[in-house]
Structure 1
């Protein structure tokens, strides 16, 4: 992040001179949103788990393309081995006008229906908060009224079907009112983002001319907890690691061999515990990077509004780890997380020393602390603990030669993104969002999660920003995912202003 960017960002957040009134176009966007909202409810009934059914994704893609087409928007399916992506275009700003590519994804996370507080995650449910609990109400209530704080519960209600339909609402606002946009609009809807977008780079390369643009806006992620208009300039990357520690050649009787041979579950637990101290800080040398956050960067991160007590209450924990001075500083640094542990079974209890123990980890990376660097540091740390690293299940000869054996398997995911805060696309988005809502936009340099921006940056070679439109407490990726209805309307308004705000050239 350049010093110039930091100064601009600090000025934006600290300035209280901004006094624009909320848009007088809100009645137009609300009318369009009310029409498209019914289609959004239908959209939620379509299962969309790409990792489970390619045919479901085919149906979702066809439905999305047809629905956009019904509203007069040019669409086509982009071939992608049975799970097509959707391309849409609304080019009425003129041939010399800038072009912005909007990216979102049609697929969603798998569901465990038993954990949802409704009959089916694929049937949208209206709920109203009463006495601190969400109470189901008939959808028919929405025919004559809506309260912005009411919510729709369903899989992909927020991530990411809502932004797709909000964008359709904004385009419908332009079309039905014969309003000329300030930019030409292109849309790319991914079909397997939740699966890591394995084919996104190939689809972009095959359609590079079609997808040519001046900048990319990703419609994904949650807004700031205050629900104020939010622009995100980057995100951490992600790398997956699987560690397997080997013990006896097969499960062995704990009575006959306990106290005699090492238990790989204890070995792995000890190794993992050594990777962090009691404050939650990673103990692997140089893990957080050779150049920690500068004083200027830290100051910028501290200017972002944050109610930490409310965040801890929502998460149900007493205190945060001490990696950063606050939440935003913490998620600007690389992280090391255990997301799974396994050694024999806790259901069918057997008194054995397991043959092996496994842990799955995820590493969140930054531009400097990139995937290859962090994996090398992890490997060196494990070696320093006396482990011999193998590439496959160890042979009997290796087992007799080394008392500590471990296999390390890695899957490199998306690289981190950091767009400069003074990039034209960011300044344009800030102006549009503040015009839409009549309040200062919150600019976030880096969000903690990961989205597949790398193929867009690498192939299109244009700046990328994220504009989240859904409520922060939407339970994405979890049971009872939901969308605050007011966000559907405010998201439509924000996107309308993006489409009608002149882009700097």
Structure 2
């Protein structure tokens, strides 16, 4: 079929679609506030009805230990792949209200932007997929691919119950690929494919010395000071050039390809500007990698806090009996958090100074995620973006983590494509959140092109 038929439908129905989106935005579905539990349920019902009206089948509001998940499917394309679409209908609180230029839950369109809480994160972007379904059903009577929706109400409170839900319902959610639109483009007119997220491993170190604090005049110099020992141990985690010195730390890291490094040059920030903005004399990091590569695509080991001894005003001349530190590691594909923490524990054993005992507590886990940029679904997504925007997408990785993305990819054993249409500066999580309507229009077209391309690639 011709994409123009779909695009014409979007143009014809644009005013109605935006009015429906405004209805969605008026529901204060704030997941973090107990008083809004009724609004959350109302919003789930609204989403379910919207999916039914679009042409989806088997629509269910499925309970979790927290807020419900809305599920729907349309599975009548036997020779086509199945796409699972993830999104969330919950939003952040609107506070501080006095900084909004309009009512946060009374959406308005101004200067080509739709203002309102949830407009870019994630109600506006989620509705792109719903309206793409409607367009195909109304013009063709069918979809080019099989489609499933999994829309949660707890993303803004860290998707507390969704991993268990996905694990319980892997058969129901099974798909050939997962897509979501909850990320940003690099800039206006510049589509972006974020294809990697870092994982996380966190540990806490406790260095125990004597059985109590000691008088420094009576014992100083003769009994090991846990703060001295901890300082020596922490210093051993990196070499002089910023590389993590833990044996085996890099063993599972997938090296950056030359194609990736060339792609990153298009999104590299100005390192001199970063230095000046941060008011630091020099930047620091693993040699041979740019600032962007270091912060998105290389693993790190950061000491996030150190504590020990008397913390009050003045100096208390003691040898403390305990010193502690917390460490957070950002991981990249294909590192496994427990393997990294095993390596750190081995390092601690080998480098513990005499006179103290060190205990290690594991406290944070999060797997990294990556869909290679040359994966067929990524190639199709890149072409869909290019045909819509007239610009080939740039490829980015995130320095942070979106745990549920990795959960979907791992449990469903499928690639994840993040089709973001937000822009930097749209104030997600802040007052005056908005969504540029140019990207509403182009988002609808991009998603439609993407479905057509992955259907064609399967023929």
Q: TM-score range by the shorter chain?
A: 0.7 to 0.9
Q: Name the residue aligned to 2:327.
A: 361
In structure 2, distance between residues paired with 1:491 and 1:467: 9
Over residues 127-160 of structure 1, what are the superposed CA-to-partner deviations in whole Å (9 max), with x where a residue is unaligned?
xxxxxxxxx3567996464334x865x5x66554
Q: Name the residue aligned to 1:146.
A: 111
Q: Which runs of 5+ in 2 are unaligned?
A: none
Give the Å deviation of 1:272: 3.0
Q: Indicate whether 1:185 and 2:166 are aligned.
A: no
Alignment of 1:11-410 (within 5 A): 27-28=11-12, 30-31=14-15, 33-43=17-27, 45-49=28-32, 60=40, 63-70=43-50, 72=53, 73-74=56-57, 75-90=59-74, 94-106=77-89, 118-119=96-97, 136=101, 143=108, 145-148=110-113, 158-174=120-136, 180-193=142-155, 197=159, 199-225=161-187, 228-247=190-209, 249=211, 264-265=226-227, 267-276=229-238, 280-289=242-251, 293=255, 296-297=258-259, 299-308=261-270, 312=274, 316=278, 320-323=283-286, 324-330=288-294, 331-343=296-308, 349=313, 356-386=322-352, 403-410=355-362
Q: Name the residue aligned to 1:442.
A: 394
In structure 2, distance between residues paired with 1:190 and 1:142: 22
**Contact 2:185/2:420 (8 A) holds in 1:** yes
Q: Name the residue aligned to 2:385.
A: 433
Give the 3 Å change call, closer, same or farther, for CA 27–244 of structure 1 in structure 2. Answer: farther
Q: Which runs of 5+ in 1 are unaligned?
A: 1-19, 127-135, 388-401
Q: CA RMSD in A?
A: 4.3
In structure 2, distance between residues paired with 1:262 and 1:381: 20
Give the 3 Å change call, closer, same or farther, for CA 249–442 of structure 1 in structure 2. Answer: same
Give the 3 Å change call, closer, same or farther, for CA 494–82 of structure 1 in structure 2. Answer: same
In structure 1, distance between residues paired with 2:125 and 2:346: 43
Over residues 421-453 of structure 1, what are the superposed CA-to-partner deviations in whole Å (9 max), with x where a residue is unaligned?
333322222222223322212234x43332334
In structure 2, distance between residues paired with 1:426 and 1:27: 27
**Contact 1:253/1:351 (8 A) holds in 2:** no
**Contact 1:339/1:361 (8 A) holds in 2:** yes
Over residues 255-279 of structure 1, what are the superposed CA-to-partner deviations in whole Å (9 max), with x where a residue is unaligned?
9987776654554455334423565
Give the 3 Å change call, closer, same or farther, for CA 292–432 of structure 1 in structure 2. Answer: closer
In structure 2, distance between residues paired with 1:227 and 1:245: 53
TM-score (normalised: structure 2)? 0.76
Give the Å deviation of 1:338: 3.5
Q: Name the residue aligned to 1:390.
A: none
**Contact 2:183/2:421 (8 A) holds in 1:** yes
**Contact 2:253/2:335 (8 A) holds in 1:** no
**Contact 1:288/1:333 (8 A) holds in 2:** no
Give the Å deviation of 1:101: 0.2
In structure 2, distance between residues paired with 1:273 and 1:163: 45
Give the 3 Å change call, closer, same or farther, for CA 384–302 of structure 1 in structure 2. Answer: same
Give the 3 Å change call, closer, same or farther, for CA 292–263 of structure 1 in structure 2. Answer: same
In structure 2, distance between residues paired with 1:286 and 1:340: 24
**Contact 1:414/1:453 (8 A) holds in 2:** no
Give the Å deviation of 1:376: 2.5
Aligned length: 442
**Contact 1:238/1:363 (8 A) holds in 2:** yes
Q: Indicate whether 1:416 and 2:394 are aligned.
A: no
Give the 3 Å change call, closer, same or farther, for CA 272–34 of structure 1 in structure 2. Answer: farther
Give the 3 Å change call, closer, same or farther, for CA 210–263 of structure 1 in structure 2. Answer: same
**Contact 1:158/1:481 (8 A) holds in 2:** no
In structure 1, distance between residues paired with 2:115 and 2:150: 27
In structure 2, distance between residues paired with 1:365 and 1:59: 37
> Residue 87 of structure 2 aligns to a residue in which SS?
strand
Over residues 274-300 of structure 1, what are the superposed CA-to-partner deviations in whole Å (9 max), with x where a residue is unaligned?
423565432334533377736635644
Give the 3 Å change call, closer, same or farther, for CA 230–311 of structure 1 in structure 2. Answer: farther
Q: Name the residue aligned to 1:485.
A: 436
The structure that is helix-richer by fraction is 2
In structure 1, distance between residues paired with 2:441 and 2:97: 27
Give the Å deviation of 1:406: 2.3
